[in-house]
Amino acid sequence: MKKETNIDKELERFDQRLEEMGIRFKDANQFKVREDVFDDVTLLALYKLVHKKWLSVIGGSISTGKEANVFYGEREGAGIAIKIYRIRTANFTTMSSYITGDPRFSHVKKSKKELIFAWTRKEFSNLVRARNAGIAVPEPMVWDRNILIMSFIGEGERPYPQLRNADLNDPSKTYGWILHAIDVLYKKAELVHADLSEFNILYGDQLYFIDMGQSVTRDHPRALPFLMRDIKNINRFFKNRCDIRTDVEIFNDITGRNEAEQ
C-alpha cells in the first residue's frame, strides 16, 4: 500500500512537472492522446528518464502511428525524438509474430506489457546494430520500458520529410543508395528491416532508415519473405521514377540465392 501511495504522489508531482516542462499536446483529441499514451507506466518511465537527465523538454507531437507516438524533445538543448509505444492500443498479435521467431527475444513472456517492453528494446538494439554496420539511422540513446529516445533527424523541430513526400532530384541515385543500404543491413548487420517503404525512410541531408521495431535477424524464419517484401515496396515506389532492377535479381544479389523469376 505504502508503495502505491508513493507512486501516486510521485505521479502527481510528475504531472506538475510536465506542465512546468511545457509539454504541449498538438493533437486534436488531446485528452485521448493523454489517456492512450501517458498511462501510469509511461509517466513513471518518463519521469525516470527526466530524472536521469536523458531529456529536459517534451515538445510537440510529431506522429501518431499504429503502435507508437513520436514526440519532439530536447536534451541539453539538442533535439531528440521520443518514441512511446502505446501500451493500451498497440497491436499485439502482429508484434508477437515478429518477436517469437527472434532468438534474441525467445525468452520474453507473452504478457501485453512484457511484449511492448521487449519491442522497445528490440527497436533499440536493431538501431544499434544498423548503426554499427554503418547504416544511417537515428542514434539510439536510451530506452526504458515502452519509451525509446534517439537523436532527432530533421531541422529545428521539423523532421525531415518521409521519402514519399520528398523532392527527389536524382531518383536513380536515391534508389541505388537504398538498395545498397538494404544489402549492408542484410550482410553486415544481419538484419532485415521488414517494414521498409517510402514511409520509413527520411530524406534530408542524406537518407535515413527509421522505424526498426519489427526488423528481424537473418535467422528469423520469415526473414527472406520480409526481405522480398521490402524490395518489392522499394521497386513499387521507384518504378515510375527511374529504371529499376527486378525484385528477384536484387533478392538473389543480396542473399546469394538463385531464385528463378516468376
Ligand X SMILES: Nc1ncnc2c1ncn2[C@@H]1O[C@H](COP(=O)(O)OP(=O)(O)OP(=O)(O)O)[C@@H](O)[C@H]1O
Name the residues annotated as catalytic: 195, 211
Shortest reach from residue 89's CB to ligand X, in Å: 10
Which of residues 81, 130, 182, 223 is near ligand X by CB under 6 A? 81
Q: Which is nearer to ligand X, 63 or 172 (CB)?
A: 63
- Nearest Cα residue to 196 out of 169, 177, 215: 215
Cα(30)–Cα(28) distance, rounded to whole angstroms?
6
85 CB-contact burial (10 Å; exposed 0-12 / middle 13-18 / buried 19+): buried
Report the site for Mg ion in 164-223 (rule: CB under 5 A): 200, 211
Strands (E), 65-196: 68-75, 78-85, 140-144, 147-151, 154-155, 158-159, 191-192
Residue 96 touching ligand X (CB under 6 A): no
Which of residues 130, 178, 191, 210 is near ligand X by CB under 6 A? 210
Strands (E), 29-101: 57-64, 68-75, 78-85
Residue 261 is classified by DSSP as P
Cα(220)–Cα(102) distance, rounded to whole angstroms?
5
Residue 154 touching ligand X (CB under 6 A): yes
Residue 150 touching ligand X (CB under 6 A): yes
Residue with cell 534474441: 104
Shortest reach from residue 154's CB to ligand X, in Å: 5
Q: Which is nearer to Mg ion, 65 or 101 (CB)?
A: 65
Residue 153 touching ligand X (CB under 6 A): yes
Q: Walk across the sheet containing 147-151 and list its strands.
A: 57-64, 68-75, 78-85, 147-151, 140-144
Residue 182 touching ligand X (CB under 6 A): no
**Which of ligand X, Mg ion, none does residue 162 bind (CB under 5 to 8 Å by kind)?**
ligand X
Residue 152 touching ligand X (CB under 6 A): yes
Which of residues 126, 197, 200, 215 is near ligand X by CB under 6 A? 200
Residue 171 touching ligand X (CB under 6 A): no
Interacting residue ranges for ligand X, rule: CB under 6 A: 62-63, 65-68, 70, 81, 83, 138, 150, 152-154, 159, 162, 200, 210-211, 213
